[in-house]
Structure 1
Amino acid sequence: MHVIETQNLYKEYTQKFSKQKVNALNDFTFNVEQGEIFGLLGPNGAGKTTLIKILLAITFPTNGSAKLFGTDVKNHRAKTKVGYLPENHKFPSYLTGEQVLKYYGQLSGMSAGTDMNKRIDEMLGMMNLTQWRNTKIKKYSKGMMQKLGLAQSMLSDPDLIFLDEPTDGVDPIGRKEIRDILAQIKSRGKTIFLNSHLLSEVEMICDRVAILNKGDLIKEGNVDDLTKAENIFAIHTVDALTMDVKQKVLAIDGNAGIGEKEINTEAGIDKLNSIIDSLRSDGVKIQTVNQKTSTLEELFINVIKKDNTN
């Protein structure tokens, strides 16, 4: 059973003044599995917020279906195992960290008493906030606020946690602490669905990602697989390449990039093998042959640009 499942999800809005109809999501289908950290990526206006609102039953799709744990999101039971940390969350500044968690624990239906207090102790410990439990929120740093928000989202021990920009505005040390916390949450079998503009953070923590643009799902998959540049290979040689060898390589792949000791080709496996055979026949010693990789940010920019030109 998928933790999150959408089928042919479609959402249409009517603009307030122009009365024009806008498609926020177009035939959107994807799944999220138990125990993975899934990243939702896209430029502003791509449909990310709309999708999260549908999954949390804040708004409803025009067509299609969305399920959490096999239950339609319109059913209240679908949300009993869900935690949520919104972007730019605010807590009353006059409360202490412990008071905030008690307040939200009671809002979520937890009974005041020993069990809730133990859970609060556990969450404050996980977030390294125990020594700040009696400190008022107005004295918390941005990183501490984000960690307290994570504690709030985890308080009822949910199996699925939605996180909207969890490391936004946090310094590098704080981001590292939050990454470690998310890895710890994942190790407990929890599923994390996060939305972030910090693609380097997403690349370090997420197992899979989906890229949205103008309401369409344009790329989805395992982070490691997606960042492998398709059919782009680099051949490194021990010695400098002669002009004669370079000419033979260009005869096989006229678009090959050739340096002193390096050949880059995007012509596919067959021509890669032909280049290697040619080098060997000329006695060229090959040091390495590597498939090139790109960063998630490079992939994101490339697929968005390509989609926008179509």
Structure 2
Amino acid sequence: MDSAVATRLQLPTIERSIALQTYELSKTYRTGFWMNKKVKSLNSVSLTVYEGETFGLLGQNGAGKTTLLKTLLGIVRPTSGRAMILGASLGDRAVKQRIGYLPENPYFYDYLTGWEILNYTGDLFGIERSRQKKRIPELLDLVGLAQSAAKKKQLRQYSKGMLQRIGMAQALINDPDLVFLDEPMSGLDPLGRYQMREIIVSLKAQGKTIFFNSHVLSDVEKICDRVALLAQGELIALGSMQELLGTAEKYYVMVKGGRPEMLQPWLPDMEFQDGLWAGHLNGAAADFIDSLALMNAQLISMSLARPSLEEFFVKQLRDRGIHSSS
């Protein structure tokens, strides 16, 4: 559109509602026998999460992820700075009715059954039992737990994956607007991880805001709108996948057949893998495709090449001289 026309039309800017926002949030712990040593778990963290967004928080063990999450939930008090959750200050009791939370290692009264723990959580939220009778079966179906097992089996008999699933169900019992998930894929097998991703995607489709930590970067890359990277308590990167990983300008190509000497100018770094020539394309994609017939080659695949989130994550830490904390 012509800029002069756009100016005359006064095209409106779409404003996004804010689900949570932090301002220079910091947390310092005292440690040691005399409590005279200070450890800064969060250092002036400022970020914004918008309503309806799936937001991923990344970082090594000890980076401050769980501290930030617990500070937002009001479990931990910040040393300095402030934050707003759903338009209210931290600790607002009315806002807590609109929040769901799954801890990294959920612990429940293990003599209760899954159904009973959901009843108990529903009672804490003041949800009527008539509503719970409809809500609980919906949640058990959503997280992949059979109603019969949830009614009869005590939590002490649950596997780690089953506890994670019932934990997700209790986090959603109040139909929250904002859901905090601390390592939601922890303890799940590949099928369980897939199902958890599908649950998060379905929550987003309902317009809910999801804020979660995870070490499984491939899952984060698939489902998050934006991510933030914490390192030693500091926010060192924040943005969408495109903003952080960039828009790939090159294609990674795999072709079958063809003469190597003719393919070489197009694929200067090409290698022979499992009967195919593969490499990064040098030149215009359309011209390369038009030339395939002349080279007696068949295109097998062509994909945009850009670093993965895991590669970006490792590079950011290495550039700052940060090594593994495990």
Code of the residue aligned with 2:157 in structure 1: it is K
Deviates more, 1:203-212 or 1:11-20: 11-20
Deviation readout 1:157-196 (Å, 9 max, x if unpaired): 1101111111111111111111112211221111111111
- Cα 1:263–1:156 change in 2 (3 A) is closer
Is it true that 1:4 corresponds to 2:17 in the alignment?
A: no
Deviation at 1:291, TM superposition (A): 5.0
Partner of 1:132: 149
Equivalent residues in 2 for 1:204-283 (5 A)? 204-228=222-246
Partner of 1:16: 32
Equivalent residues in 2 for 1:104-123 (5 A)? 104-111=121-128, 113-123=129-139
Partner of 1:151: 169
Deviation at 1:230, TM superposition (A): 6.9
Aligned Cα RMSD in Å? 3.6
Partner secondary structure for residue 183 of structure 1: helix
Is it true that 1:81 corresponds to 2:94 in the alignment?
A: no
Is it true that 1:305 corresponds to 2:322 in the alignment?
A: no
Match of 2:46 among 8, 29, 37: 29
- Cα 1:218–1:50 change in 2 (3 A) is same
Deviation at 1:233, TM superposition (A): 6.6
Looking at structure 1, the residues matched to 83 and 32 of structure 2 have their Cα atoms a distance apart, in angstroms, of: 26
Deviation readout 1:139-159 (Å, 9 max, x if unpaired): 333322211111100001110
Deviation readout 1:113-145 (Å, 9 max, x if unpaired): 212222222212222432322122233333222
Code of the residue aligned with 1:298 in structure 2: it is E
Looking at structure 1, the residues matched to 232 and 157 of structure 2 have their Cα atoms a distance apart, in angstroms, of: 40
Partner of 1:95: 112
- Cα 1:178–1:235 change in 2 (3 A) is closer
Looking at structure 1, the residues matched to 320 and 164 of structure 2 have their Cα atoms a distance apart, in angstroms, of: 34
Contact 1:46 1:215 (8 Å CA) reproduced:
yes
TM-score, normalised to structure 1, is: 0.79
- Cα 1:263–1:107 change in 2 (3 A) is closer
Partner secondary structure for residue 133 of structure 1: helix
Would you say how many aligned residue pairs link Structure 1 and Structure 2?
A: 294
Match of 2:213 among 168, 188, 195: 195
In structure 1, stretches of 5+ residues that fail to align are 250-255, 266-271, 278-283
Partner secondary structure for residue 320 of structure 2: helix
Deviation at 1:15, TM superposition (A): 2.8
TM-score, normalised to structure 2, is: 0.76
- Cα 1:239–1:218 change in 2 (3 A) is farther
Contact 2:98 2:177 (8 Å CA) reproduced:
yes
Partner of 1:178: 196
Contact 1:5 1:30 (8 Å CA) reproduced:
yes
Deviation at 1:93, TM superposition (A): 2.7
Q: Percent identity?
A: 39
Deviation at 1:297, TM superposition (A): 1.2
- Cα 1:229–1:159 change in 2 (3 A) is same
